[in-house]
Amino acid sequence: MDDISSGTVHRVYQGLLADLDHGRMVPGQRLVETELAARFGAGRNAVREAIQRLAARGVVDLSRNRSPAIRKLDAAETMEVLTVAEAMTALVLGAAALHFVPTIHGSALDDAQAQIEAAADEDEIADFGRARRQFYRVLLEIGGNRELKRLFPAIGMHIVYAQYRSRRLRGIRLADYRAMIEAVRHGGQEQAEAEGRRHVGHVRAIIAEQVTVGTTEALTRNPGHS
């Protein structure tokens, strides 16, 4: 019988996210259950459940007549994701600032910041991705809004960062996370919300530049196509 325990499903789920962080899997890549089952030493039911969870998070596309695939965004979809992310990030930061109590939440926020700083110092993309996810989990816990906890992980930023990799983008995110943490600790709800919107605005600007450069290069290589 397939092992579909929560631990096995979680291991496959985390393993697929790690593969995406490391670039071992890329947006658009098909997911073959038998191959994943062999790689992770898990039953196909556990693999299928992990894929379903990733689909709910916006990481995997499920198609009725094709095997599931890592989600891939076109330029317009990327900007749509960022529009939603801007509003949601502001809400997450605002809720965290509103409910932040230093004696209760300070150590968790310290730990989250330390993980981000360490990953940035090591220039390790996968560690930075994990630290980023932990940072937002801490903010969601501080804010305590159950609907935000349900909706925020499904926005699709994991795919955005998998498609648009650059040290410049990672550097901007690190600087922004420091400002966001400071706002949660000391700035109050309005400032924290503003820092959340500003952060996504920075990400949008860098990605828009990358899209423009990529389009220009494609047209240069294929001058007959518009």
Residue 20 and residue 85 in one domain: no
Distance in angstroms (rounded) separating the CA atoms of residues 103 and 215: 50
Q: Say how far apart CA 75 and CA 207 lie, in whole Å.
A: 9
Q: What is the DSSP letter of 24?
A: S
Q: pLDDT tens-digit profile of 15-25?
A: 999 899 888 89
Q: Do both 62 and 93 map to the same domain?
A: no
Query: Do 37 and 94 lie in a common domain?
Result: no
Q: By percentage, how much of the chain surpasses pLDDT 90?
A: 68
> 160 and 129 share a domain?
yes
What is the predicted pLDDT for the residue at 169?
83
Residue range of the domain that includes 18? 6-70
**Could you count the other beta carbons within 10 Å of the beta carbon of residue 217?**
10
What integer pLDDT is reported at residue 121 of this predicted model? 79
Q: Of 57, 28, 72, 60, which is closest to residue 160 (Cα–Cα)?
A: 72
| 106 and 201 assigned to the same domain | yes
What does pLDDT average to over the chain?
Answer: 88
Please compute the mean of the pLDDT values over residues 31-43 and round it to a whole number: 92
* Residue pLDDT, tens place only, 87-130: 999 999 999 999 999 999 999 999 999 999 998 877 667 788 88
Residue 34 amino acid letter: T
Average pLDDT over residues 174-186: 95
Report whether pLDDT(176) > 50: yes
Q: Give the dihedral sign, CA 149/154/158/161.
A: negative
Q: What is the CATH number of the domain that holds 36?
A: 1.10.10.10
Report residue 62 as tokens.
Answer: 């499920």
Answer whether residue 226 is part of any domain.
no
Condensed to tens digits (0 to 9), the pLDDT of residues 43-94 reads: 999 999 999 999 988 899 997 778 899 999 999 999 999 999 999 999 999 9
Q: Measured in Å, how far apart are the chain's first and last C-alpha atoms?
A: 54
Total domains, the chain: 2
Whether 225 is covered by a domain: the verdict is: no
Instruction: Answer with the one of 70, 94, 120 that is the final residue of a domain.
Output: 70
pLDDT band at 5 (very low <50, low <70, confident <90, very high): low
What is the pLDDT, as a whole number, of residue 123? 64
Percent of the chain with pLDDT over 70: 91
